[in-house]
Structure 1
């Protein structure tokens, strides 16, 4: 019997079938990461008055398309007439924004709260819901994460979801700049919005 029953909130969603599909399409590393993010996202939602089931489902599926080929992402962008600017980027951006479309098509999940949390889990958004924030932070601080700043990230997440989001955007932007990486333009917009809220 499955640990969490998403059918109670969204009829027809069978977690066991989703897990089976994920085991077939993801590496063990990525699959287990998704399970941890599901659990952390649910916990954050419970602690912060969010929708636990939607946060959990989005957390489970946030990296559903992470290991797909560039060719598949490019094909989806073109077939669905998505923003052509996306073609200038790569998997780091695609697996969230384009990945939500793959989740919709392959798993029949049309709940926009869930899909938006998947879309926004890499670069955030200026109008993030509690579900969005829980998945965004859950992905960043799940128990197996280990990088300079992880302890600080977890402390800010405990302070508030807004503080957790702000720290993560600041940390991620600094990481990209330090490595001379191209930055997705919306990342700057989101950073400016959240840092101006003064949570750090």
Structure 2
């Protein structure tokens, strides 16, 4: 699917602000993909569709999760986590997008996971650092993303966990798995001391 078709499909499903965010994420992801030798086309496609289901009715997303092979424990966590996994199913059903890497990058763009691919990391990071966002510490993550994809992903997962803990929100296990795996990659440690 080409970029213009993907944008045309996505735009009616998003608010103006969320659509503009999506375009910025796509631009950021393409830039990172080129820097880290990942397919810019896959990064762009995954980014354009990453929030495709963000404004779907909660009842519809619940039904999709319940009827699919998605983990049922998603339903025990905040509905903000649902749109990535649901979109990974809907883009295949509605547009015939079957590329596993693209679908996985969309699926995990909010939580991350252990053993993320470069493409998954790029969309995860691009969603966080896109130029329209502004909050304390963001410039450090942006700078790191230009030098070290693993460390930037680690910073995103660390900051996300801190933020959710400060809000006293529950944290989906994949987010901890992402943090632990990225920490292992950075420190080189894979054993218990």
Which secondary structure does the structure 2 equivalent of 1:148 belong to? coil
Equivalent-residue separation in structure 1 for 2:48 and 2:161 (angstroms): 25
Q: In the TM superposition, what is the alpha-carbon distance from 1:91 to its structure 2 partner? A: 2.7
What does residue 163 of structure 2 align with?
175
Is 1:187 aligned to residue 175 of structure 2?
Answer: yes
Which secondary structure does the structure 2 equivalent of 1:196 belong to? helix
**Structure 1 unmatched ranges of 5 or more:** 1-12
1:142-167 CA distance string (max 9 Å, x none): 11110111111112212211011000
What does residue 85 of structure 1 align with?
73
1:13-72 CA distance string (max 9 Å, x none): 143332222221111111111111111101101011111110111111111111111111
Equivalent-residue separation in structure 2 for 1:134 and 1:22 (angstroms): 20
1:99-138 CA distance string (max 9 Å, x none): 2112221222111110000011111122211111111111
Q: For this pair of structures, how many residues does the alignment match?
A: 187
Bigger shift: residues 78-87 or 170-179: 78-87
Summarize the Cα distance change of 1:59–1:86 in structure 2 as closer, same or farther, 3 Å threshold: same
Equivalent-residue separation in structure 1 for 2:66 and 2:50 (angstroms): 22
Is 1:25 aligned to residue 39 of structure 2?
Answer: no
Equivalent-residue separation in structure 1 for 2:41 and 2:93 (angstroms): 20
What does residue 45 of structure 1 align with?
33
**Structure 2 unmatched ranges of 5 or more:** 188-193
Please provide the CA RMSD for this pair.
Answer: 1.3
Equivalent-residue separation in structure 2 for 1:49 and 1:18 (angstroms): 23
Q: In the TM superposition, what is the alpha-carbon distance from 1:198 to its structure 2 partner? A: 2.5
What does residue 57 of structure 1 align with?
45
Contact 1:137 / 1:168 at 8 angstroms: preserved in 2?
A: yes
The TM-score, its normalising length taken from structure 1, stands at 0.89
Which secondary structure does the structure 2 equivalent of 1:197 belong to? helix
Contact 2:108 / 2:124 at 8 angstroms: preserved in 1?
A: yes
